[in-house]
Structure 1
Amino acid sequence: MADTIEVNGKQLAVDEEGYLANLNDWEPEVANVMAKQDNLELTPDHWEIINFLREYYEEYQIAPAVRVLTKAVGKKLGPDKGNSKYLYTLFPYGPAKQACRYAGLPKPTGCV
C-alpha cells in the first residue's frame, strides 16, 4: 500500500493500512479513490453508512467497532440496515474497518 493516495491532484498521506494520516484531509472524493482501489463502486447506500460514521465520529470522537456500528446504524436507519449481513454486502472487507477508512476516520478500536 502506498504512503499517499492521489485525490483531485493532491497527494494525501495514509498509513501502512491505507487510513488517512490527517483526518482533515478528508473530502468525499477520498472515499471514491479508496473504493476504486478495492474495486468497489460507491452507491447511495455506501454513502449513507460513510456519512453516518463521520457524524458518529464527530459526536463521540471514536470510530466504532463493528458490533457498535451495527447497533448504532440499526437505531438510526432501521433493522434492515442495522445488521452485519447488510453491512458486509456493502463493505466486504469488514464494515467497520473498510467504511471507516473510506470515511477518513482512524481504524476502529478492537479491529485487527
Structure 2
Amino acid sequence: MEAVVNGKTIELSEAGWLLNLDEWSEELAAEIAISEKVPELTEEHWNIINMAREYFQANGTVCEPRAFSKLMKKEYGKDKSDQKYIY
C-alpha cells in the first residue's frame, strides 16, 4: 500500500500503517483520513492523533484501547474519553 503526499510516494503496510515513522506529517494524516472516508480532520481528531503519537513515541508501542481512554479522560475530560467518541 502507499500514499502520495506533495508528490512523494510513502509506503504503508498492508493494514495501512506507516512503515517509516520519519515520513509522518500532518499532510499524510489528512491523506489517510480521506482514504478512510473522513473528509476533514477536526480539532478533536487532532487531539486523538497527537495523544496516540505521543504515547507511541514515549512507549514504542500503540496504546491499548482501555488505557487510551484513561489518557484521554485525564487530558480532555470524561465526555471525550469513551470508545464511541475516540473511535
Length-normalised TM-score, structure 2: 0.91
Runs of 4+, deviation exceeding 3 Å: none
Q: Structure 1 or 2: larger helix share? A: 2
Separation of aligned partners in 1, 2:27 and 2:65:
24
Unaligned runs of 5+ in 1: 89-112
Q: Which residue in the other structure is 1:52 paired with?
A: 51
Separation of aligned partners in 2, 1:71 and 1:56:
12
Per-residue deviation, residues 23-57 of structure 1 (Å, max 9, x unmatched)? 11101011100011111021110001101111111
Q: Which residue in the other structure is 1:66 paired with?
A: 65
Separation of aligned partners in 2, 1:19 and 1:62:
13
AA matched with 2:63: P
Separation of aligned partners in 2, 1:57 and 1:77:
18
Secondary structure of the structure 1 residue equivalent to 2:3: strand
Greater relative CO, 1 or 2 (CA 8 Å, sep 6+) = 1
Q: Is 1:14–2:12 an aligned residue pair?
A: yes
Q: Which residue in the other structure is 2:25 paired with?
A: 27
Q: Which residue in the other structure is 1:82 paired with?
A: 81
Unaligned runs of 5+ in 2: none
Secondary structure of the structure 2 residue equivalent to 1:62: coil
Q: Max radius of gyration: which structure?
A: 2
What is the root-mean-square deviation of aligned Cα atoms in Å?
Answer: 1.0
Length-normalised TM-score, structure 1: 0.72
Q: Is 1:36–2:70 an aligned residue pair?
A: no
AA matched with 2:66: R
Task: Tell me the percent identity.
Answer: 38
